Amino acid sequence: MAARRARDIALLDALDAHAGVSFQGDVWRIVRQERNVLQGAQSGARWDPGTFEVLYSSMTREGALEEIHFHLSRQPVFPSRIQSVLHQIRVQTRRTLKLANLDEVAALGATPDVFASLDYSRTQEIADAADFLGFDGIIAPSARWPCQNLVFFMDKFSPDDFSIVAREPVDWAAWRHERGPLLKAIGSPP
């Protein structure tokens, strides 16, 4: 477990001004075939300070695919034996911090260039402060696709809060082939 630093009072005040939103709908998440799709982690990723379990999801199918593809592509050789499964999950949140766009994220100290990088220090501080203030997760822009991601703070949810609607295996080679026209249609990811 990561050591917790003193919280930024100005950040706490800024987040405390947010009432939070509820979200009811479907999100998408990809995990390896043998992994429980509803298992959170303390991985130290963008919205995870490593002090509590989070579960990452995207509000679009393409966003989930792009997020995982990015991380798999960072390896020296794209892993060909990993069996990935895309899950569509129905959920309802109660009090979620919504950061609608990069301007709102930047106002909290994570500028767009830092947000797009692998420097997660400020976004982790934001997540820690949001959890401390009782938010059950964060809705924020994806750094990889023009959509919103929904990150769940798993200590605020029970398994009954989630319902798996559909699942499908991911064929990364086929998806990369389909991805080209999608990228042309949107320009380029954020």
Pick from 2-16, 23-37, 85-99, 119-133: least confident: 2-16
The pLDDT of residue 79: 82
Pick from 3-17, 86-100, 107-121, 138-152: least confident: 3-17
Tokens of 170: 């991911």
Parallel, antiparallel, or unpaired: how do β-strands 148-153 and 54-58 relate?
antiparallel
Is residue 167 in a domain? yes
Give this prediction's pTM.
Answer: 0.90
Is residue 3 in a domain? no
The pLDDT > 90 percentage for the chain reads: 75
The pLDDT > 70 percentage for the chain reads: 93
Is residue 1 in a domain? no
In this prediction, residue 136 has a pLDDT band, given cuts at 50, 70 and 90, of very high
Nearest to 152 by CA among 108, 96, 85: 96
Look at residue 36 and tell me whether its pLDDT is greater than 60. yes
Q: Which domain holds residue 82?
A: 9-183
Is residue 190 in a domain? no
Report the pLDDT averaged over residues 168-173.
Answer: 94
Is residue 106 in a domain? yes
Other CB atoms within a 10 A radius of the CB of residue 87 amount to 19
The pLDDT of residue 44: 86
The phi and psi torsions of 69 (rounded to 5 degrees) equal -60, -40
Look at residue 178 and tell me whether its pLDDT is greater than 90. no
In this prediction, residue 92 has a pLDDT band, given cuts at 50, 70 and 90, of very high
- Top mean pLDDT of 111-120, 125-134, 180-189 is at 125-134
Q: What is the pLDDT of residues 98-117, one digit of tens each?
A: 999 999 999 999 999 999 89
Nearest to 105 by CA among 156, 136, 142: 142
Is residue 189 in a domain? no
Is residue 70 in a domain? yes
The pLDDT of residue 190: 55
What whole-number distance in Å separates Cα of residue 70 and Cα of residue 52?
A: 24
Is residue 4 in a domain? no
In this prediction, residue 189 has a pLDDT band, given cuts at 50, 70 and 90, of low
Rg (CA), the chain: 16
b/e string for 96-105 if b means 16 or more Cβ within 10 A? bbbbeebeeb
Structural domain count of the chain: 1
Strands of the sheet with 148-153, listed across from one edge: 97-98, 137-141, 148-153, 54-58, 24-32, 84-92, 162-169
Pick from 86-90, 135-139, 143-147: least confident: 143-147
